[in-house]
Amino acid sequence: MTIQLYCFGESGHSYKAALALQFSGLDWEPIKVDFFNGETRSQAYRANVNEMGEAPVLVDGDVRLTQSGVIQQYITDKTGKLGGDGMDKYEVLRWVLWDNHKLSSFAGITRFLMNFLPEDKQPKETIAFLQGRLKGAYDILNTHLDGRDWLVGDGVTNADLTCCGYLYYPEPFGFDRAEYPNIDAWLTRLSEQPGWKHPYDLMPGTPSDRA
């Protein structure tokens, strides 16, 4: 049975789940969520897809899961891939939790405020504060990657797939790969792996669709 992933191209959290599916080798298909026209806020979506009004959502037969980290763990449990070997699984989980709290949470909202709101409605002080928090996260990630190919162990894990979630997007939100050479090399390395695709190629929906 083909796994369905409710997602949209602009969503970094959806991208994490989509990448995990890609790298796992599972058969899957994207189901476009029309976020920018309010689908996730609709009564139908919350009743039938996700009561939290979010994407991504994975549907595998009778299994329905939300939250990217949960979806990644399900894929690992189903395939035995991407979770880390032995005690490394706890280190992978540590990075998934760190990313969701310290990196993707700030990157997602900063990118949204800077690119998907009219300029006159952008809260400049809030954006500056968030970018400051992000700089601290980038520094931690860049330092950890010094001398390493991957965040945990000797191969790609969910740690890599969660932390990269927003870092391939072209829209400006205060991240310049050139300023973080270890992150830059890691992102390049990851993009060279079989199955990798840019978020706008992997999932339906791009900003140009609304231009």
What gap in Å lies between CA 33 and CA 9, rounded to an integer?
A: 9
Together in a domain, 92 and 179: yes
Together in a domain, 34 and 112: no
pLDDT in tens, 13-60: 999 999 999 999 999 999 999 999 999 999 999 999 999 999 999 999
Q: Nearest 5°: CA angle at 143, between 186 and 96?
A: 65
pLDDT reported for residue 1: 83
pLDDT in tens, 140-149: 999 999 999 9
pLDDT reported for residue 210: 73
Select from 67, 79, 38 the least CA-distant residue to 165: 67
Together in a domain, 69 and 140: no
Detail the DSSP E strand segments found in 61-121: 63-66
Q: Which helix (H) or strand (E) holds 122?
A: none
Range of the domain at 136: 88-191
Which residue would you say has higher pLDDT here, 92 or 1? 92
Considering its fold, how many domains does the chain have in total? Answer: 2
pLDDT in tens, 58-98: 999 999 999 999 999 999 999 999 999 999 999 999 999 99
pLDDT reported for residue 123: 98
Together in a domain, 26 and 63: yes
